Amino acid sequence: MKEVAFKLIKELHDELIAIVNAAQSTGDTDSGFERLKRWKARAVMKIADEINPIEGTNLGKKQKWSFRMGDPAGNLVDEAQMYDNCVVRRSRQG
């Protein structure tokens, strides 16, 4: 079970990095936020199915309530980091 969880967490982490990198390289933060939204929906389902339903629900409840004015790229990075921290924290708790 732990091996499956670590593999999934690594996969989700790598996907987040790819989303942020693509948005930063193209400057298309609208697409970046849309991809991030879809990533979160998939991640919630995968975590709930493969690790623990409660953990999937916890990720689903995560929302970023503060934003930087005029910095959509920074906001995208912040939100991705928030999700990544939530997911990676699970791997450290075992």
Check residue 12 and give its pLDDT: 96
**Cα–Cα distance measured from residue 35 to residue 20, given in angstroms and rounded to the nearest whole number:** 9
Residue in this structure with the two tokens 């936020």, named with its chain if needed: 33
**Cα–Cα distance measured from residue 63 to residue 48, given in angstroms and rounded to the nearest whole number:** 18
Spell out the domain ranges in the chain.
2-93
Which DSSP category does 71 fall into?
A: -
pLDDT mean over 71-91: 88
Query: What pTM, to 2 d.p., does this model score?
Result: 0.88
pLDDT mean over 37-62: 94
Check residue 82 and give its pLDDT: 93
pLDDT higher than threshold 70 for residue 62: yes
**Cα–Cα distance measured from residue 79 to residue 1, given in angstroms and rounded to the nearest whole number:** 28
Q: Which of 18, 14, 3, 8 is nearest to 55 (CA)?
A: 8
Q: What is the per-residue pLDDT across 4-47, written as a single tens digit (0 to 9) for each?
A: 888 999 999 999 999 999 999 999 999 999 999 999 999 999 99
Which DSSP category does 87 fall into?
A: H
Structural contact between residues 31 and 11, judged by C-beta atoms closer than 8 angstroms: no
The mean of the pLDDT values for the chain is 91
pLDDT higher than threshold 90 for residue 68: no
